[in-house]
Amino acid sequence: MKQVIRTALAVVAITSMPLAMAADEVLKFKIEGGIATGKASSRDQIKDDIKLYFGKQKTPPVVKKIWEGDSSQTSSRRSQQERCETAFASAIIRLQNRARTEGGNAVINITSGSGESSETEFTCTSGRMMARVRLHGTVVTLK
């Protein structure tokens, strides 16, 4: 009976190892790197027509608040940094596209992760194969 229990415990331990090793990591990267990745892309690009304000950066006066929401993107590039910067750039592009659609000229109060406010860094959740960046922002018309 003891041998059966030991064998069962060994099987559980061995089959659980990949799950433990596949835990996601929460990482921080520089916003500048994600913006550069988005501007260098040959397909969709981060453009300068829609201004971006991260965290509590000062903005010109807001004329009209149009939309507030999230943009979440994933990426499956090679390195963690590549995956995170690509997911970040894609999420920014989606926010900019939303601003264009809604008639805004800026996205302000952009935060990442679970509402972390930073003017220099974004949060990325990265696993073994994919990374996810969640951004929250407000589309506005600035003076």
What is the β-pairing status of strands 106-112 and 131-142?
antiparallel
What pLDDT score does 115 carry? 82
As a whole number of angstroms, the distance between CA 138 and CA 53 comes to 10
Taking all residues of the chain, what is their mean pLDDT, rounded to a whole number? 87
Mean pLDDT per 10-residue run, the chain (143 residues)?
56 49 85 93 86 97 97 89 94 97 98 91 94 97 97
Q: pLDDT tens digits for 43-64?
A: 789 999 999 999 999 999 999 9
- Please check whether residue 39 is in contact with residue 46, taking contact to mean a CB–CB distance below 8 angstroms: yes
The predicted model scores a pTM of 0.81
Domain residue limits, the chain? 22-142
How far, in Å, CA of 95 to CA of 35, rounded? 13
Domain 22-142: top CATH class:
alpha beta
